[in-house]
Amino acid sequence: MKKHYIFLLSVFALLIGSSCTHEVLSPINNTPPTPNDSIPDLPPIESDCDSDSIYYTNTIAPLLGSSCGSSTVYCHNSPSDENEQIDLSSWWSIMNGDEDELVIPGNPFNSKMIEKILEGEMPPDTSSFSITNDQIDLLTAWIAQGAQDNSCNEGCDTTNVSFQSDIFPIISLYCTSCHSGSDPNGGTLLDNYSNIRNAAVNGNLIDAINWQGTVVPMPFELDQLNECYINLIQIWVDNGALDN
Ligand code: HEC
């Protein structure tokens, strides 16, 4: 390996030596790195998501995971007597469980999943859990569109990161259901700008999503956020956690 390197260097030296002109090599960039240099700016990747479609993998799985509990302490992660054998941890288990008509493709309002939510029966403990009307609309639309096991590539645009269009949607889908109400999990509210900003400023938000430091890794007992979402949140915090 080393010999190879030395050989290449001597060929290079010969080549330079044999040319008559002395080229000036461009100077090495000595600018000190700014803090933001630690996060590589990922090039924007085009999204192939259809804005009228609701995708199981992108939206419904994280929604059901955080608000109906695909984690071990939160209810519907595997079939049991306590949860009436309803397992919401995968598309297959939703569509093939013991409960008849839990989800009827194309017919949300006769699907028991939507009925239970609209009747206020699920999720049960509203002091530390919530499902928003927007989320109910997403579930309803997904079932109306056929309750497919579908996914799309959202792309990743880390330029001009904004709280309203980038950060709030991620936190709402992955975190808010357990971090809202009068008795939020971990004593941490993540339901609006000022509460999310508090968690950003005290460092817990970044530690929790990066699975680092002394805080419990988040989202609780679910998969880690994807790299793009972690980058977006990191950039937003580094830029001052603004309400932009
Ligand atoms: C399924 C429920 C659930 C979801 C979803 C969830 N959390 Fe948590 N969170 C908890 C629980 C439970 C605790 C308390 C853990 C403990 O102290 O043992 C907690 C604690 C926290 C804390 C406080 C840590 C501390 O030590 O002060 C932060 C910050 C946090 N979560 C952020 C998040 C973020 C960010 C997300 C979304 C990416 C998220 N959580 C999603 C249940 C959840």
Q: Does the beta carbon of 61 lie inside 6 Å of ligand 1? A: no
- Residue ranges covered by each domain of the chain: 56-144, 163-238
Give the amino acid at 96: N
Is 185 touching ligand 1 by the criterion CB < 6 Å?
A: yes
What's the rounded Cα separation, in Å, for the pair 170 and 176? 9
Cα(89) to centroid of ligand 1, in Å?
A: 19
> Which of 126, 189, 218, 227 best tests ligand 1's pocket when mutated (most atoms within 8 Å of CB)?
218
* pLDDT at position 5 over 60: no
User: Could you tell which of 179, 195, 204 is best to mutate to test the pocket of ligand 1, judged by most ligand atoms within 8 Å of the CB?
Assistant: 179
**Helix (H) or strand (E) segment spanning residue 63:** helix 61-68
> Residue 217 has what pLDDT?
94
The alpha carbon dihedral of 216, 222, 224, 230 has a sign of: negative
Q: Cβ(233) to ligand 1 under 6 A? A: no
For residue 95, pLDDT beyond 50? yes
Q: Which of 15, 100, 73 is nearest to 220 (CA)?
A: 73
Angstrom distance (rounded) from CA 15 to CA 132: 69
Give pTM, 2 decimals. Answer: 0.80
**What spacing in Å lies between the alpha carbon of 225 and ligand 1's midpoint?**
13
Left, alpha or beta for 84 (phi > 0: left; psi -120 to 50: alpha)? left
Q: What is the mean pLDDT of residues 136-146?
A: 97
Provide the residue type at 204 as one letter.
N
Average pLDDT taken over every residue of the chain: 82
Asked whether residue 149 carries a pLDDT value surpassing 90, the answer given is: yes
Task: Tell me how far the alpha carbon of residue 236 lies from the centroid of ligand 1, in angstroms.
Answer: 19
110-120 confidence digits (pLDDT tens): 999 999 888 88
pLDDT-derived band at 109, boundaries 50, 70, 90: very high
In this structure, are residues 109 and 23 in contact, taking their beta carbons and an 8 Å threshold?
Answer: no
- Atom in ligand 1 nearest the alpha carbon of residue 174: 37
pLDDT at 1 over 80: no
Which residue, among 136, 141, 140, 151, has the nearest Cα to 55 in the 3D structure? 151
